[in-house]
Amino acid sequence: MAVRHAGPVDDLYGQFGRQFRAARKDAGLTQQEVAERVGLTRTSVTNIERGIQHISLRQLYLLAAAVGLHPAQLLPRPEEAIEDLLPAPALKALEKDSEGRDFAARVLRKSHAQPLRPAADVR
């Protein structure tokens, strides 16, 4: 049974899948052709594009090479994922506050660029 991650992680796989599908089509490749290039089944490629099948780092590199891109070009960018990373009430509050939305995007971008640090010991 596949391990399913909640919320934002699943959303990131969905975004990756959509970006990969667009890159595959831009490269003029079918799902079957990609599958043969990377050693997967066509069904696996379909599931990756739908965000259902999670991939390894090795598979990311193979998929990117199959469509002629660098792996980083297929990864979702935090500023594009703000709708997926913030709860609906926070998004609603930011609808009319472009400065607040920009701030939230910067915070998300920075948090994705830096490793998590352990919280200070509070006594």
Q: What mean pLDDT do residues 11-34 have? A: 93
9, amino acid identity:
V
The C-alpha atoms of residue 73 and residue 23 are separated, in whole angstroms, by 9
Q: What mean pLDDT do residues 60-65 have? A: 97
What local confidence, expressed as pLDDT, does residue 39 receive? 97
The C-alpha atoms of residue 87 and residue 78 are separated, in whole angstroms, by 15
pLDDT at position 1 over 50: no
**DSSP for residue 5:** -
The C-alpha atoms of residue 104 and residue 82 are separated, in whole angstroms, by 8
pLDDT in tens, 66-99: 999 999 989 876 555 566 666 778 777 777 776 7
In the numeric block, which tokens belong to residue 41? Answer: 């089944």
Please count the other Cβ atoms lying within 10 Å of the Cβ belonging to residue 74: 19
Confidence of residue 116 (pLDDT cuts 50, 70, 90): very low
8 A C-beta contact, residue 6 and residue 12? no
pLDDT at position 119 over 50: no
27, amino acid identity:
A
What local confidence, expressed as pLDDT, does residue 92 receive? 77
What local confidence, expressed as pLDDT, does residue 123 receive? 44
The C-alpha atoms of residue 120 and residue 22 are separated, in whole angstroms, by 43
